[in-house]
Structure 1
Amino acid sequence: MNVGSEWRRGLVRAGPLGRRVGLRTTGGHGGAVAARLIDRPSRRLGRAAALLDQFAVRMNVGPRVPNPLAEVASELRMFLKDADGAACMHSSMPGRIIAALVSGGTPRHVLKIGQADDRPLRNEAEFLAKVSGVGLPFRVPELAYADFVGEHYAVVTHAWSHARLAGPLTRDELLGITEVLATTGADTGSVVHGDLAPWNILRTPEGIGVIDWETAMVADQPLRDLIHYLVQAGAILRWADVPTVVRELTHPRGLVSELAHRLGLARQQTSEAVGAYFASCPPVHVKHVRFFRDSVATAVGAPAQQS
């Protein structure tokens, strides 16, 4: 079977409660493996739903749907021709899809396909090309292809086998990743991942990997990734409460102060970095996330989200 033969819609991750995800897969073992590559929910309920859909995929259960990769099949045939399993889902970026390809049960490629004007996707391709030869102590997706495909722009990377969400990082792991990013940039600043959040950090047999470099940049913001990780882990995943996050952001023995010390930054620079982070945060409309972030911002003397 090739990836164009038969696709099915997920029962849960594309049903009435999962339309935002829109999971579609080919059937059998290959489809289930492909689904696991791209559908990695961070929350318990989402993980249960994903497992249910993967079981349904193996059993070839679910409504049949058109091939979601049909529009790009001819241009990307070099990757599609040997695949015998695939999965596809909506991205959080409107107008973009994410797909995974499997051959013989082995993960092969991850595809991101956006509109021609999808600047963040093009930015990711540029950064992956830049950091590929830097020798980072953590894994970064290896770029296989990046170009315009008809009316779309596509980025293809080599998939990692046996990858899973990293879960809460240890103190040393988190400081290690953020210190490397902060000291890897050019003279004009540090490498800033831009969305260094728990769902973008994976564990693989070869070590930790960091994915989704769409908002990466070189800027004089060496503490931003660490601040972002702490806030997102608390606000969205509820791994920590407000006092704990505030302590890590502001206490002399907190994570942010520790990173600042390693980088030779003054205490004033640390406070300014925390304030600048909240001042630049885009609005969020999920009530509990907004409340958490505003509570932290208020506690550290930074601006809360404006109504």
Structure 2
Amino acid sequence: MGEDHVAWRSGLFRAGPLGQRIGLRTTGGRDAAAAARVIDRPSRPIGRVAALLDRLVVRMSIGPRVPNPLAGVEPPVRTLLNDADGVAFIHSSMPGRCVAALSKGGSPHYVLKVGKVDDHPLRNEAEFLSKIPGMRLPFNVPELLYADLVGDHFAVVTLAWNHSRLAGPLSRTELLNITEALGAANTGGVSIAHGDLAPWNVLRTPQGIGLVDWEAATFAGQPLHDLVHYLVQAGAHLRWTDVTAVVRELTHPHGMVAELAHRLGCHPSQADEMLHAYFTESPPVHIPRVRRFRDSVAAGVGIPPPR
């Protein structure tokens, strides 16, 4: 599309007061709107409304003009950009990283993540995306096309899923089956963990459930981490459930943690240790309402909040 000669435009809602951190930028038109739909999938209602309004603005190419945010990208990534009919760009929550989607013929084709040279989480995602397909897990992961240095940045390119959407609340069966598959998969006898199995990283695709954003994936041997994390994040961020319900799933003999531990052959003492590790070793939370929710769940499980 000759990126150097395309008029880039700013979103009005996902780049203004409601989404300044996100900083939506697009090339405008139908293809750019299709690209924006792939990388800008807010989970909360106000964000969804803002994203929908911005896609309408993008289709009409009426946002204010801005500089090309990908001007410094070099081959081979530039080849993809030049072959696209529409591009959408946002800032990642990871400092120094951006995410772009490229579409052609009205359908998304590629997702591009560009970080700093020392962006270790992005490098970690590339490593896991190269290994997971061989494990034959019962869900989809983005197909890795390219991961390498691009100038003074590290870039990862994956195929985009067309007609995909946020999965919404997973059923008990879906969540247990996904986390069982993760906990049972192993390399060298150590189970894998997605690390950030949260509602916004679970999609429904024409081929079934898909998991994205593997930056925090590990071979840490904590097979209950993903289940606990999903339950806590669904309640703390999205209010799909409350503290009492989460505590029950974590502690009741017939709760999901007990069921998953049984499926994976974990002794009850191991399950208790993993539950304790989640609340004491996870990174600190800076959003007050999320911190309050997690601390309340930890207290319900019998773990005092950190000082």
TM bracket (short chain): over 0.9
Q: Secondary structure at the match of 2:186?
A: coil
- Which residue is 1:215 aligned to? 216
1:9–1:65 Cα contact (<8 Å) kept: yes
Question: What amino acid is aligned across from residue 136 of structure 1 in structure 2?
Answer: L
- Which residue is 1:202 aligned to? 203
The offset of 1:3, in angstroms, is 4.2
Question: What amino acid is aligned across from residue 262 of structure 2 in structure 1?
Answer: H
1:39 equivalent in alignment to 2:40: yes
Aligned residue-pair number: 306
Q: Secondary structure at the match of 1:203?
A: strand
- Which residue is 1:97 aligned to? 98
Q: How does 1:95-174 map to 2 (within 5 A)?
A: 95-174=96-175
The offset of 1:2, in angstroms, is 4.4
Question: What amino acid is aligned across from residue 84 of structure 1 in structure 2?
Answer: D
What RMSD in Å do the two structures reach over aligned CA positions?
1.1
Q: Output the CA distance in 2 between the equivalents of 1:74 and 1:225.
A: 37
2:204–2:210 Cα contact (<8 Å) kept: yes
Q: Secondary structure at the match of 1:107?
A: strand
> Sequence identity of aligned pairs in percent?
64
CA displacement 1:234-273 (0-9 Å, x = unmatched): 1111111000000001101101100001111122221111
Q: Output the CA distance in 1 between the equivalents of 2:85 and 2:116.
A: 26
Q: Output the CA distance in 2 between the equivalents of 1:291 and 1:261.
A: 30
Q: Secondary structure at the match of 1:240?
A: coil
Structure 1 moving runs of 4+ over 3 Å: 1-4
1:25–1:87 Cα contact (<8 Å) kept: yes
Q: Output the CA distance in 1 between the equivalents of 2:127 and 2:223.
A: 20
1:2–1:84 Cα contact (<8 Å) kept: no
CA displacement 1:29-78 (0-9 Å, x = unmatched): 01100100000000000000000000000111111011111111444123
Q: Secondary structure at the match of 1:102?
A: strand
Moved more, 258-267 or 72-81: 72-81
Moved more, 147-156 or 128-137: 128-137
The alpha-carbon distance between structure 1 residues 157 and 197, as it changes in their structure 2 partners (threshold 3 A), is same
1:50 equivalent in alignment to 2:51: yes
The offset of 1:285, in angstroms, is 1.9
The offset of 1:303, in angstroms, is 3.3
1:13–1:21 Cα contact (<8 Å) kept: yes
Question: What amino acid is aligned across from residue 185 of structure 1 in structure 2?
Answer: N
- Which residue is 1:72 aligned to? 73
1:301 equivalent in alignment to 2:302: yes
1:192 equivalent in alignment to 2:169: no
Q: How does 1:5-44 map to 2 (within 5 A)?
A: 5-44=6-45
1:90–1:96 Cα contact (<8 Å) kept: yes
Question: What amino acid is aligned across from residue 66 of structure 2 in structure 1?
Answer: V
Question: What amino acid is aligned across from residue 45 of structure 1 in structure 2?
Answer: I
- Which residue is 1:265 aligned to? 266
Q: Output the CA distance in 2 between the equivalents of 1:269 and 1:244.
A: 22
1:253 equivalent in alignment to 2:254: yes
Question: What amino acid is aligned across from residue 80 of structure 1 in structure 2?
Answer: L
